[in-house]
Amino acid sequence: MQLVLATHNPHKVKEVAAILEPIVAGLTIGGYDGPEPIEDGTSFLENSLIKARAAFLHTGQTSIADDSGIAVEILGGAPGIFSARWSGSKDDARNRQLLLAQLADVPEGNRQASFICTITMVGPDGEQSFTGVWPGRIAFSETGSNGFGYDPIFIPEGFEVSAAELEPLVKNSTSHRAMALSQLASYLRPQ
């Protein structure tokens, strides 16, 4: 079975393939080179549906899409669906620096945040969605070189290091994306 991953982000393709391919026998994850739809949904679910539907219509193959981001409690859940362009551009470093600046005076006990990921699969048999939530907190500075996005400033619950300091195997077994993909894998595996 092959699934098209509706993203132009090579980091996501690599991460999703690393998580799913070993646990679903015979599964391969293919990239997507079609047009990017306008993500005008108001939730992770709506935006993942928009992307998965567009990829399915473009390729005719069962497609999956994720929409994910970071939700900071003291900011009322922001950046949320605007995580990828929080600073006004899709620049990970600028997004992290802006979020750190916005939280500069917020003490340790009020820096709770969660990474949220909704994965949607669209194919000839219909649509299914799965959501994972990875709780933690925002650090005071960037550390680590693994991962991407907000990983260098996110300290997952149960860890004392950033997500960017975790070994890929650890992150790929505990993250928000891993949780949502695990649900998808259970759905895909024969009962």
Q: Which is the catalytic residue, given 66, 67, 92, 151? A: 67
Q: Could you tell me whether strands 126-138 and 2-5 are parallel, antiparallel, or unpaired per DSSP bridges?
A: unpaired
Angle, CA of 106, 111 and 115, to the nearest 5°: 145
152 and 96 Cβ atoms separated by less than 8 Å: yes
Cis before 79? omega within 30: yes
d(CA 191, CA 10): 31
**67 carries an active-site annotation:** yes
Annotated catalytic sites, by residue?
67
